[in-house]
Structure formats: C-alpha cells, structure tokens
Amino acid sequence: MLKFYKSLFLTERLFIIILGFIIAFIAAYLSLPLFILLKYTFLVFLLAIVLDVMLLYLTPKGIKSHRLLPEKFSNGDKNPVHITFENNYNFTVKLRVIDEIPFQFQIRDFLFKVPLLPQEVKDYVYHIQPFERGVYQFGKLNVYAESPLGLIRRRYIFSEGKNIAVYPSFLQLKKYDLRAFSNQLREYGLKKIRRIGNTIEFEQIRNYISGDDIRNINWKATAKHHHLMVNQYQDERAQPVYSIIDKGRIMKMPFDGLSLLDYAINSSLVISNIALQKNDKAGIFTFSRKVENRVVAERRKFQMQLILETLYNIKTDFSESDFGRLYADIKHKINQRSLLLLYTNFENQDSLHRQLPYLKAIAKNHLLIVIFFKNVELRKLIEKPCQNTREIYQKVIAEKFDFDKKLLVSELKKHGIQSILTEPQNLTINTINKYLELKAKGSI
C-alpha cells in the first residue's frame, strides 16, 4: 500500500478541477438545489478518478523503460543518451520523463514529454555536453504515465544509477582521422605542398628491375650474386612526435565551457592518433612545477589506449610553470631529434622573454612548435561598434593586446622557432595542418 501511494501523483488538471469544486461549493451553499446538483456532479468526478486509477494500476507493468549509456563520454562534445520506452497499456499514454542527470550539468529540472500509442515501443535520444573530465553519476530515470483522462499519474522508476567516465574528446579521432588521409583537410585551409628534397632510409637489397635508378646499384651485392642488385629506400618513418602540455595557471582560462588545458588535451589525443597512422612514434607528457604524465613515443599496439588513459588522468592545481625544468627533462630523456608540439600560452612579450632562453635551447636539438592561443574575447571587443568614449578606449586597449600576440609569433620566428597562434576552437585542425605540412616538406 505504501508503494502504491508513493507512485500515485495528481495532475495539474485535477488540482484545477478540485479547486473549482471548492469555489463552486462555497458559492452554491446558499442555494440548496444547486448545492445538491453540485454534490452529484462531484460524485461523478470521484468515480472518474477511481476509473483513472484503475486504468493505470490494473496493468502491473504498464510502462517499461531502459536508459542506454555509452561506455564513456567525450569531453566537449555532444554525447547521445538513448532511452527506450514500451507501452503495455491498451490506450495512449502521455509520459513525463525526469532523468536525474549528473550534478556537473547543474540542471535540476531536466524534463521531457513522450506520447506513446497502445503497445508502442519508442526510442528517444537526447544529447549532453560535458566540459570536465572525470566521473559523472546518473541517478534514477523517473517516468510519469498519464491516461487519456489526465487526472492521475503513475510513477515508474528505472535505471537506478550508473557512473560514466568523461574522457578527452575521442569523437574527434573519427572526425579528423579520415580527413587527415584525404584531401578534405584542404577545406580547412591546408594547401597542397610540393615535397622538397628526398629523405631516404635503407629498406632492403633486391634484384635489379628495368627502370631502377642505376645510382642505387649495390656493387658488392652484385659481385656476390653475379647479377645486378640495387638498394631499395623508403621515406624516413617512425619519427618521435611528442605533445607537451603546459598545465600551469596560464592554461586555466575558459572558452566556451572548456579550459585551454582541455583544448590542448583533446588536440594531443587527435595529433597522436594521426602521427601513429602516419607511421611516426607518438608520445606525450605534461609539466608545471615538474614533468609528469609521461608516455614515451612508441608505435606499440596499445599506444593510443595508453595515451588516452594518461590524458584522462591529468590533474593539476594550475601552479606556475617551470620551463627550466622542462628543458632539463627534455635534454635528459629525449635523445633522438623529435617533433615537439608545446601547448602553452603567452599573453605579452614579457611572459615570452622570460621563457625564451629555454625555448631556444630546446629548439637547438629538436623541431619545436610553440602553440598558443588568441584571445577570442578581445577579438569580439575589437569588432564591436563603439557607442561612447569609454568603449573607444576599451577598443584601443584590446587592439594593442591583440597586436602584441602577433608580435610574439614574429619574435619566435626571429629565433628560428616555429609557432601556431590559433583560436581555441580551431586548435586541433591547425595543429594537424602544421604536422602534415612538416611531413610534406620532409622536416621530420
């Protein structure tokens, strides 16, 4: 009986009708014939409520529902949540569904309505977009069924709860994977680049075939086998590509819900996958006060899974970043010339000049690409029409800061260091384009 009461809810329509009866009873109290008529009408109304209760409760499992969640969510992307509804009643029901989604979304009244025909099975899909890595806990799935009379609702509870881990944006892997191996990336600004020079790496010695370059004839092997043998070469492969993520306080700045740190993490996951597909070695590590979260650049079978798990577990207190320690670690741990993609941020020339000696030292032995971010909010302020003197002053200051960002690119180039200055939302595609450009030029 207690369970029955807990599942029984009155609708808004019923509240309005009851309130109307109360007012009518008070008004008709002075007129006895009208009061008697109203009393019989109220009895008919009570019978309608009993009928509505019987309609909803005579079928033991009138509604069945199941929430289907993926194994993990992709950070910063819209992730689908599937809910299946099955109507076992012999009449059309209206469902009001309250899904207890994780507290990180801060939505207390997540409600949607689903109509179901008799014996109908329907799939409903909604999307949620997380902006933080970590564990998200789903609560109960509350389904309120309402009959055609619309006086009573019966509550069903399904899917008691489940924890879902939010990983770096693995959905971008599929998005950019195909484009990186086709011409579709040129739609995003990548130009076709003629390959300069020829990098050669010895592969094998084989028999001479008509048309082979006679400069590649191996005379020692020819003398040994008594027929022409040539050296076969292939493009250099398996170059180490490291994504270095600054997780200091300068990466805490948010943009469209995600921090710059999470933009860098998402981009590192994608570029690591592209590098492995291009037969290079992919690795990552992070730094702030110390260097950690290291994955050595390899082409192992489970390298991407190892990188994904490492990126998921990155934690930081956004302290001051120590570039000196970064330089010492790279000098000590990375002996082979590598492509280093350094995700960081500089707001002015003073902040760059403090770290420039370390960047120059790193660039002596490695191909260093410094990746930092445009201040998108400044761009909005610059493009906004001015209405008064105060806004003109703000616009001039914004233009100065924006120009300083561009000077940072020139300053790095002057010291032989390549860079990418990008909007956060274009970080991944610009990084991929730069990597493919370097591959096309034979720089790595």
> 31 pLDDT band (50/70/90 cuts)?
low
β-strands 291-298, 339-343 pairing: unpaired
Mean pLDDT computed over 182-202: 50
- In the chain, residues under CATH classification 2.60.40.10 are 1-167
Q: What type of residue is 437?
A: E
Structure tokens at 421: 């200055």
Ramachandran angles phi, psi of 345, nearest 5°? -155, 140
* Tens-digit pLDDT profile for residues 133-161: 999 999 999 999 988 887 888 889 987 77
* Tens-digit pLDDT profile for residues 155-190: 899 877 789 999 999 888 877 776 555 555 544 444
Give the whole-number percent of the chain exceeding pLDDT 90: 46
| Between 338 and 147, residue with greater pLDDT | 338
* Tens-digit pLDDT profile for residues 84-96: 999 999 999 999 9
What pLDDT does residue 437 have?
Answer: 87
CA gap 116, 118 in Å, rounded = 7
* Tens-digit pLDDT profile for residues 204-241: 788 988 878 888 889 998 888 888 999 887 555 578 99
Structure tokens at 39: 């009393």
Of 1.10.530.10, 1.10.760.10, 2.60.40.10, 3.40.190.10, which CATH number belongs to 1-167?
Answer: 2.60.40.10
CA 55 vs CA 49, 51, 69, 147, 338: distances in Å: 10, 6, 32, 7, 72
Of 3.20.20.70, 3.40.640.10, 3.40.50.410, 2.40.50.140, which CATH number belongs to 171-194+236-441?
Answer: 3.40.50.410
What pLDDT does residue 362 have?
Answer: 95
Mean pLDDT computed over 304-323: 93
What pLDDT does residue 178 have?
Answer: 60
Structure tokens at 321: 């970043």
Check if the beta carbon of residue 115 is closer than 8 Å to that of residue 95: yes
Whether residue 414 has pLDDT greater than 50: yes
- In the chain, residues under CATH classification 3.40.50.410 are 171-194+236-441
